[in-house]
Structure 1
Amino acid sequence: MTSNDQSILLESGTNELEVIVFNIGDGTFGINVMKVREIIQPLPVTLMPNSHPHVEGIIRLRDEILTVVNLSKTLGFAPSANPNGDKLIVSELNQMKVAFRVQHVSRIHRISWEQIEKPTDLSQGLEGMTTGVVKMDGQMVLLLDFEKVVLDISPEKGIHVQQVKQLGMRERQNKRLIIAEDSAILRKLLFDTLSEAGYDQITFFDDGQAALEYLEYLKNENQLEQEVDLLITDLEMPKMDGHHLTKRIKSDKELKSLPVIIFSSLITKDLFYKGQEVGADGQVSKPEIVKLIELIDRLIA
């Protein structure tokens, strides 16, 4: 499968996604189709000295050199019993392309973000590596946090306070931000970095539905202009994704003037137009925190 084969690209803002289901050991996992560029047979791997234990090495795919991450090692599963039957899921996230080795790929499922539950009650011990869990065809499918997998291997690709210091301090304490982000780690990083830039009046929500309900409450109480100047949203979140959240805000005659920035690892060339269609005022790819802050400055100056 390649990105050109994605004839099932969804209409923007429908709060749906399509998940490719795959197996590792006895576990069943999923990845958002929008992160997948193609699925290929394993290619010869060149070993890299002093690499991370979860990295097999690198491959050459046409004109690109890609890192291969072995998800069995990442998740603590036994090695594949049949390596020749494995697949490589070539993904694009955080402006990087990475090939993830899995043991079997089954099919694509279309689901709603409302079907995805937060992984707080999982008993498999993989809570820190998952973004959600959904029941499909009588089985529980764990949606892996591929961004965390990559950041654990390459922490320098993440968000760091040091990146913000070059901007210098400016007085922004009277500006109030709302952020919809389901990752607790990223919420902490965003608070630290935005506070360093002077934006320390932040209200966080861990899914888009909760953020929308808060905005509607403020609207009904005639407090919207006093309590929020701008909203930042991730794309992948349980209950309601960022595209649908943006569409709901921009379709509301009282909320539509609120600036909305999409801040996500999925801001690829293929997906940028979706954010435009739902009315986002700006889109920034993680982890470009300096660009995010500069865009906030422009929108609420």
Structure 2
Amino acid sequence: MTNSAGKLAARNKIAGGNRMELLLFRLKGRQLYGINVFKVKEIIPCPPLTSLPHHTAEVRGVAHVREGAISILDLGMAIRQPPMENPRENFVIVTEYNRRTQGFLVREVDRIVNIDWEEVHPPPKGSGKNSFLTAVTQMDNQLIEIIDVEKIIASVDPLAQGVSSELLTDEVKAVAANYHILLVDDSSVARNQVERNLTETGVQFTSLTNGKEALDYLNGLADEGKNISDEFLMIISDIEMPEMDGYTLTNRIKQDPRLSSLTVLLHSSLSGIFNEAMVKKVGANFFLAKYDADELARVVIGEIKKAEAAKW
């Protein structure tokens, strides 16, 4: 087995077991922050930066790395901390989110840890809607704050993408409201994106924030004797979520005869071969990388048309 194949197998095992690898880093002070290792392409000393006109202050400039020219975002400034002094003395975490490569300027990188998603929890309710945290966990008696990177990117470079009008035919509009979708995502920004998409398409939806909450909800309906296929056209789920990830949620759904007929679309800022392998392993019906409004709408509309055809 090649080294890359070995790493892929190891990562499949981690994700399939409701576990994640978390890259820990510091900004100002001793507080530890984390992001999923699967989104990290490399960590480098901060290269020379070329300033950009007309960009928000958080974007400290553009750097040339192996990916080409990428924007370097001061992660501390993005979460309302003072700017990093002397960027060249700090580090850049090069990541890929939502099909885009960008660098995050941090003071220092600490280590990589392996964590059970059950040990990762939603941020405290008192953190408020403007918080840039998506989850928290604890290790060695120290709180680790997991940053909602999608929210940060959206605050600096928002996606303004709606569903193309040619997809929303009169045929779809006439029947879409008869269908209900379960949406599961811990990121408020990602949920809002998909909710706008579903609203434009015309379907009803219920939004939940993590896999455990979704599984409990579905089990509750099944325990009441309801046919899940009658309740929902499909489920659209993120992969990275506290308490239970999307892979584990999908696997539990597909292993339960009461739920297994439910169509599952995994919708994630993670991408690549790793995801394709895991999607097949857990039995998901679709995988889409975030975020393309038309791609998502096409899958939803395809399921609506399939359900309509089955009536005849």
* TM-score, with structure 2 as normaliser: 0.86
Q: Which residue of 1 aligns with 2:154?
A: 151
1:262 to 263, 266, 271: 266
Separation in 1 of the partners of 2:67 and 2:241?
Answer: 33
Q: Name the stretch that deviates more: 247-256 or 236-245.
A: 247-256
Question: Is there any run of 5+ residues in structure 2 with no aligned partner, and where?
Answer: 307-312
Write the deviation string for residues 163-220 of structure 1: whole angstroms up to 9, x where unpaired.
3434224221221211111223433332232122121x21211111111112122222
Question: Is there any run of 5+ residues in structure 1 with no aligned partner, and where?
Answer: none
Deviation at 1:70, TM superposition (A): 0.9
The answer as to 2:299 corresponding to 1:298 is: no
Gap change, CA 1:61 and 1:44, over 3 Å in 2: same
Deviation at 1:62, TM superposition (A): 2.5
Report if aligned partners of 1:165, 1:197 keep a CA contact under 8 Å in 2: no
Q: Which residue of 2 aligns with 1:216?
A: 219
Separation in 1 of the partners of 2:107 and 2:248?
Answer: 33
Separation in 2 of the partners of 1:242 and 1:287?
Answer: 17
- Percent identity reads 31
Q: Which residue of 1 aligns with 2:92?
A: 88
Superposed CA RMSD:
2.3
Q: Which residue of 1 aligns with 2:309?
A: none
The answer as to 2:165 corresponding to 1:165 is: yes
Q: Which residue of 2 aligns with 1:128?
A: 131
The answer as to 2:23 corresponding to 1:20 is: yes
Separation in 2 of the partners of 1:131 and 1:139?
Answer: 17
Deviation at 1:67, TM superposition (A): 0.9
Q: Which residue of 2 aligns with 1:46?
A: 50
Separation in 1 of the partners of 2:88 and 2:129?
Answer: 26
Partner AA of 1:116 in structure 2: V
Deviation at 1:247, TM superposition (A): 1.1
Gap change, CA 1:111 and 1:151, over 3 Å in 2: same
Report if aligned partners of 2:233, 2:262 keep a CA contact under 8 Å in 1: yes
Write the deviation string for residues 69-90 of structure 1: whole angstroms up to 9, x where unpaired.
1112212323445645411100
Partner AA of 1:104 in structure 2: E
1:246 to 243, 250, 255: 250
Partner AA of 2:32 in structure 1: T
Partner SS for 1:261: strand
Gap change, CA 1:53 and 1:83, over 3 Å in 2: closer
Deviation at 1:122, TM superposition (A): 5.4
Q: Which residue of 2 aligns with 1:61?
A: 65
Q: Name the stretch that deviates more: 140-149 or 216-225.
A: 216-225
1:97 to 90, 97, 101: 101
Partner AA of 1:61 in structure 2: V
Separation in 1 of the partners of 2:45 and 2:91?
Answer: 5
Separation in 1 of the partners of 2:221 and 2:126?
Answer: 34
Separation in 2 of the partners of 1:285 and 1:146?
Answer: 15
Separation in 2 of the partners of 1:102 and 1:288?
Answer: 29
Separation in 2 of the partners of 1:63 and 1:109?
Answer: 26
Separation in 2 of the partners of 1:55 and 1:261?
Answer: 33
Q: Which residue of 2 aligns with 1:139?
A: 142
2:235 to 220, 231, 235: 231
Gap change, CA 1:290 and 1:66, over 3 Å in 2: same
Separation in 1 of the partners of 2:265 and 2:194?
Answer: 14
For residues 32-43 of structure 1, what are the structure 2 equivalents within 5 Å? 32-43=36-47
Separation in 2 of the partners of 1:104 and 1:126?
Answer: 28
Partner SS for 1:222: coil
Deviation at 1:126, TM superposition (A): 9.0
Q: Which residue of 2 aligns with 1:114?
A: 118
Report if aligned partners of 1:165, 1:196 keep a CA contact under 8 Å in 2: no
Separation in 2 of the partners of 1:277 and 1:215?
Answer: 21
Q: Name the stretch that deviates more: 279-288 or 92-101.
A: 279-288
Write the deviation string for residues 229-270 of structure 1: whole angstroms up to 9, x where unpaired.
211101111111111111111122332221100111113344
Report if aligned partners of 2:179, 2:232 keep a CA contact under 8 Å in 1: yes
* TM-score, with structure 1 as normaliser: 0.89
Report if aligned partners of 2:208, 2:214 keep a CA contact under 8 Å in 1: yes
Separation in 2 of the partners of 1:152 and 1:166?
Answer: 29
Gap change, CA 1:6 and 1:187, over 3 Å in 2: same
Separation in 2 of the partners of 1:97 and 1:117?
Answer: 27
